[in-house]
Chains A and B, each alone.
Chain A
Amino acid sequence: MPTESLITLVCALPSEARPLLEHYRLAQVNEKPFRVFANAELSLRLVVSGIGVEACATAVGFCAGLQTNRPSDIWVNIGVAGHRDLDIGSVALGARIQRDGASKNWYPGFLFDTHIPVSEVVSFNEPVQDYPAGTLCDMEAAGFMAAASRVGNTDLIQVCKIVSDNASNSLANINREFVTRLVQQQIPAIETLLSALRGCSEAAADFDDDTARSIASQWHFSQTQRLRLSRDLRRVATLDSEQRWTPAALDKCRSGREVLSQLENEIARLSPQFAP
């Protein structure tokens, strides 16, 4: 059975997180150094990172360290950003993310259906009002990408920004309630994005390894043998299209080595042959 992917949402501000916590019914599971919230099934969690590239990268690293990361896990940075021309409240996905003054770029993948427009994102150290053309201006995305792309699959990492200020509506008009309302209004778009990412992640899912765990508990295996056991059990299951083989065939084995030898014989027996 494929394992379900874990979605981690990363918000800089409590006011960005609030509507998501309510919508997904997330409860706090960690207080320090970062507040982390999760749903009852532990399939979706949210971390409040605080402002800035470093804070965001550290929060991602902290969350990644809470459990074993799987190739199908999804990471999304959600927050507000400035843009010279886009309308207040509009949403865009980061297509190319850069830290102000640095040359490194990150490119999240787009392997799913979405009508959300894309934009370049530049992460600044300070709030900006002199918006570069065609660019979302934030303070976290570069840190998020730097950290998330170390622990996750680049194609399952997204930066989702909601425009809070532009050339006509300056930063001075922003307050917590306003930010919360902007995120609240884009919950349907965020919901669609997460659903699309989850569908996309299925091809990257790893599999539960219950049979191997059960066998490994009955005989002694070194770490290398344990990996081989897992791989060879799966090979037998793949080749045995009529599913006749069961672990009971190993009952008479006296050691882990014998188990592996028997599996090897089974693979040879199930493999196609070219008879001379």
Chain B
Amino acid sequence: MIETIYIEHAIREHPRVASIRARFPNARVISCEHYGEVFNRGGQNFRLQKQRPALLLARKIGRRVLPVPDGYGLDGAEGYYFSHMLNCLYDCRYCFLQGMFRSAHYVLFVNYEDFLDDISAQCARSNEAQWFFSGYDCDSLALEPVSRFTETFIPAFAQIDNAWLELRTKSTQIRSLLDCTPAPRVVCAFSLNPQTVIDRLEHRTPSLAARLNALRKLQRHGWHIALRFDPLILEDDFRTQYATFFRTVFEGIEGASLHSITLGNFRLPRSHFQRMANLYPDERLFAQNLDDGDGQIAYPHASAEGMLAWCEEQVTALADGVPIYIQST
């Protein structure tokens, strides 16, 4: 799976580096001074690298905990994101990471304890609930067998009374979560779409059935579960597809006990969109009629509004009383 590992010279002896290297004994290992030498260099092609990404092991310095963009967090509470990893195992055609990063290689920052120190410090500034999102620049769980992220972060979050963690994922890598006691302020948020959309746009991701299976197991085990219908993808038979899809999702889960649901349309910052459209000029999603306004590319206003209102109505009917948030950025 991983054939090339770049390791920052300064962390070559770090215990997490040693354990990750041991998982990939046949990988070629290349020493670098700073991950940016490889990750941020010019003349890279994200699409080409996505075929065979390398793993970069690094130490995150500078700001590790950042406020989420307006409209990303959950209603009212302060929201922050942190990125122990950059990029994702999956290859979702709509994903903004393709437009944001020059490289498709995976970066894993191994200094977890520094992230946790910063999160504790942030929480100490207020008694109010504070939300932390780990799935902004990556899928929170997809690389779990390698990163063992939850093993360190979930017990640490349990020690901070006002810290909530959202693990946003399309992954079925839930073994570590089933092996431990559910944490009271950790929410497993699953990104879901109809199988036809998964087939067309969410390459290398688990099927809808597999995701729902994982979600149900976690719910039965006692974890807080949230649903993320974001991005909604406009197709000619949108209503038929999504009506069937919503019914499928809510079959077999305890809808009323869900933590939250979010809805959001496909949208991208203009600069990201242009890069992505250049990478995949034959992608229908980028070729179709889209509006350009306020620095953001999105479905034409009337369609976007109609889609969200219709989906909210459908979801409300199936999960009455669960908070529904509309995502706009």
The residues of A with any CB-CB pair to B shorter than 8 Å are: 71, 95-96, 103, 105, 107, 109-112, 117-118, 120, 149-150, 152-156, 200-201, 203-204, 207, 231, 234-239, 267-268, 270-274, 276
Contact = CB atoms under 8 A, between A and B. Distances in A.
B240 interface: no
Contacts of B236: 272-273
Interface stretch (B25-33, B143-151, B155-163, B179-187): B25-33
Nearest 6 interchain pairs by C-beta:
A271-B289, A271-B288, A235-B287, A274-B303, A238-B287, A154-B43
A231 B234 CA distance: 22
A203 B37 contact: no
Contacts of A267: 287-289
A186 to B, nearest CB: 19
Contact of A276 (B32, B234, B284, B306): B306
Contact of A200 (B41, B51, B284): B51
B197 to A, nearest CB: 12
B70 interface: no
B234 A272 contact: yes
A120 B9 CA distance: 14
Assign chain B's interface to a size class.
35 or more
A149 B42 contact: yes
B45 interface: yes
Nearest to A237: B282
Given A95-B28, A96-B31, A274-B307, A155 B284 contact: no
B80 interface: no
B38 interface: yes
Nearest to A199: B51
Most buried by B among A105, A234, A237: A105
Interface in B295-329: 299, 302-303, 306-307, 310
A204 B30 contact: no
B6 interface: yes
Nearest to A231: B281
Residue from the set A207, A237, A271 with the largest chain B CB neighbour count within 10 Å: A271
A52 B49 CA distance: 31
6 contacts: A109-B49, A149-B41, A200-B48, A204-B48, A234-B287, A271-B289
Contact of B49 (A107, A111, A150): A111
B114 interface: no
B283 interface: yes
B128 interface: no
A105 B32 contact: yes
A209 to B, nearest CB: 11
Given A118-B30, A234-B282, A153 B287 contact: no
A33 to B, nearest CB: 25
B146 to A, nearest CB: 19
B3 A153 contact: no
B47 interface: yes
B44 interface: yes
Interface string B49-69: 101101000000000000000
Nearest to B288: A271
B113 interface: no
B37 A238 contact: no
A107 B32 contact: yes
Contacts of B302: 274, 276
B238 A238 contact: no
Given A239-B287, A268-B289, A71 B45 contact: yes
Nearest to A118: B28
A273 B44 contact: no
Given A235-B287, A274-B303, A155 B45 contact: yes
A268 B288 CA distance: 7
Given A149-B43, A203-B51, A272 B288 contact: yes
Contacts of A155: 44-45, 48-49
A201 B49 CA distance: 10
Contact of B42 (A154, A200, A235, A237): A154
B130 interface: no
Given A118-B30, A272-B236, A238 B51 contact: no
B117 interface: no
A274 B45 contact: no
Nearest to A202: B48
Contact of A107 (B30, B235, B284): B30
A239 B44 CA distance: 28
A237 to B, nearest CB: 8
